[in-house]
Amino acid sequence: MIKQCCKSICRILVPVLLLFSCNEASQSPKTAEIVREPENLNKKTNENIAITMAFASEHNGKLNDSITFNMLPVVQLWYGGLDSLRTWSDKQQWLPMADSLYDFIRQSENYGLFPSDYHFSHLDIIRHKLKTDSLAMLDAAMWARADLLFTDAFVQIVKDIKLGRLEKDSVTLRKDSVLTDSFYVALLKNVHSSKELTPLLETLEPHHQGYVELRGALKSFLDSMNRTRYTYLSYPFTDPVDSMDFIKNLQTRLYEGGYIAFNDRAADTAALTAAVKAYQKENDLKVDGKAGPMVVKSLNNNDQEKFKTIAINLDRYKQLADTMPQRYLWVNIPSYQLRLWDTDTLKLESKIIVGQPKTRTPLLTSTLTNFIIFPQWTVPYSIIFKEMLPKIRENVGYLDKQNLMVVDKNDSIIDPHAVNWFRLNKNYFPYLLKQREGDDNSLGVIKFNFRNKYSVYLHDTNARWLFSKADRALSHGCVRVQQWDKLSKYLVKNDSLRYKPDTLAAWMKRKEKRTVTFSQKIPIFIRYITCEARNGRLVFFDDIYAEDKIARQTRFGNKYNLFTL
């Protein structure tokens, strides 16, 4: 790629051949080159672009300690196909599209983006010099540097606004999860000819209603946000090194908030405890001087971290397909909520109970195929060995209390008192534990099936009082649905010939076990969205599975210079 780039640039810019040979190590880019004759500015700027590109190509995109081209292959391809390399400026002025791109980068927070990702500080310095220093108007090296920064920034924005910054995973539905270099070049040609930048970039955004609403609510958040920088506390920690870092960062964070008077030396335990107590008292937390989960959560609950949460969730919508089905079920784990959409209309909303952090509900995409009235629950082996077997060994009567029966491989019922439970283990367990159908069944009176490799499903529950709890990460991984009755009726609403209006109710009343199929299958999306917009206002949910924390550490951890604008 480096040799191809050099050949392209050498072929296009004959004067550059007089300055350096592409077969030898490239020249270091000039920090400044003042052109005496203004009519030579374009020529000299092109020469500096070629020199800078050749140098960056040989150094993996790195121009100096503060500038690295993130989208180097595309930048190379773009300049390698131009007769005149200068793209964003002409003579002694930026072109209108350069002003548009500068403004877009400056306001890119409105799209959940970070200006620092798009060379904003360097472009801002150049812009300031051009406004205040007449000699800078003739600096070909600076014009070249600005041109390359603009091109790299534009391509990076296209990638981030269309695909996001999260890694492709098992629930990414985009068919174009990798964009070709030619795609970026085509967009550069488009904006270069049309000069309409913002509308072009906005066509790349997702059309999902959740994304549109979240993006719409972002502006008012930014208008009133507190841009004070605060140290982020990573918790919990797993080793002594992390523990020491946590204590150091805790002191810094308490110092930033005015709860401890110094940060030029390590505070002793008494000083830290007093500072934590002061914070707890002021923020209506239990005053015990311990920096546990609630204190850390509260300390991290600032606008800086909220913006990162918004950015992460906007990117999660970018993992969906461009077009959602006409009808679908949307299960959002952190909000403990199920929504049924039909033709952009919310038809049903229900509280749900999801998996505990140690037995998570998996993220997945599937299709509801049927539901079973008065299902029989076959206990997963993981639950048998982790929870039930020790209790059965202690008292076989546990099985009766849980309405469980023991069956062999032929589905014959076995007397539990005839089984030596102490001989059984993970390697030898020739039985199944099944729970008799009925109101006492853990699945409740209905179970909704969809294909997945995790053996999870939607279902009712015999502990319906749990829906009144605020924290509903309580299950072993399946999703319990409060409005199961409305959901079942909706699923068969187009099958009135097979299922009369009172058919399901009659089966329920007689407690008949039935498998109900329906003609119109409905897709189900189980996702992890920790921030939504409701009536134009942002609502944040707990990061119950620490997915946001992981995203911060891998993609968003150092985005602090966002708040210097």
The per-residue pLDDT for 173 is: 81
The per-residue pLDDT for 452 is: 94
Which residue in 5, 22, 478, 531 is the catalytic one? 478
The per-residue pLDDT for 9 is: 45
Higher pLDDT residue, 4 or 411? 411
Helices (H), 398-534: 398-401, 484-491, 503-510
pLDDT in tens, 187-220: 999 888 877 899 999 999 999 999 999 999 999 9
Angle formed at CA 534 by CA 283 and CA 282, multiple of 5 degrees: 5
Q: How far apart are CA 462 and CA 296, in angstroms?
A: 35
* Radius of gyration (C-alpha) of the chain in whole angstroms: 31
* Mean pLDDT to the nearest integer, 493-498: 86
The per-residue pLDDT for 559 is: 59
pLDDT in tens, 253-269: 999 999 999 999 999 99
The per-residue pLDDT for 1 is: 44
SS3 state of residue 371 = strand
pLDDT in tens, 374-419: 998 899 998 999 899 999 999 999 999 888 999 998 889 999 999 9
Instruction: Grade residue 558 by pLDDT with cuts at 50, 70 and 90.
Output: low
The per-residue pLDDT for 10 is: 47
- Least confident residue range of 1-10, 299-308, 402-411: 1-10
Q: How far apart are CA 463 and CA 466, in angstroms?
A: 6
What is the number of other CB atoms lying within 10 angstroms of the CB of residue 225?
16
**Of the candidates 294, 262, 293, the residue with the CA atom closest to the CA atom of residue 275:** 262
DSSP 283-306: TT---SS---HHHHHHHT-SHHHH
Q: What are the C-alpha distances in Å from 565 to residues 53, 116, 216, 242? A: 29, 10, 21, 32
Which residue in 119, 459, 476, 531 is the catalytic one? 459
The per-residue pLDDT for 557 is: 66
Helices (H), 13-135: 14-17, 41-58, 72-80, 96-106, 120-132
pLDDT in tens, 61-105: 999 989 999 999 999 999 998 888 999 999 999 999 999 999 999
Structure tokens at 406: 């023991």
207 is an active site residue: no
Mean pLDDT of the chain: 90
128 is an active site residue: no
Predicted TM-score (pTM) above 0.75: yes
pLDDT of 21 higher than 70: no
Structure tokens at 218: 């972002």
Structure tokens at 540: 């944040």
The per-residue pLDDT for 2 is: 41
Q: How far apart are CA 543 and CA 547, in angstroms?
A: 7
Instruction: Grade residue 16 by pLDDT with cuts at 50, 70 and 90.
Output: very low
DSSP code of 68?
B
The per-residue pLDDT for 25 is: 56
Write out 155-171 in H/E/C secondary structure: HHHHHHHHHCCCCCCCC
**Of the candidates 294, 267, 270, the residue with the CA atom closest to the CA atom of residue 280:** 294
Instruction: Grade residue 182 by pLDDT with cuts at 50, 70 and 90.
Output: very high
pLDDT of 7 higher than 50: no
Structure tokens at 378: 């076959």
Question: What proportion of the chain, given as a percentage, has pLDDT over 70?
Answer: 93
pLDDT of 8 higher than 70: no
**Of the candidates 131, 123, 125, 167, the residue with the CA atom closest to the CA atom of residue 148:** 123
pLDDT in tens, 342-358: 998 999 999 999 999 99
Q: How far apart are CA 242 and CA 385, in angstroms?
A: 33
| φ/ψ (deg, to 5) at 557 | -65, -30
SS3 state of residue 141 = helix
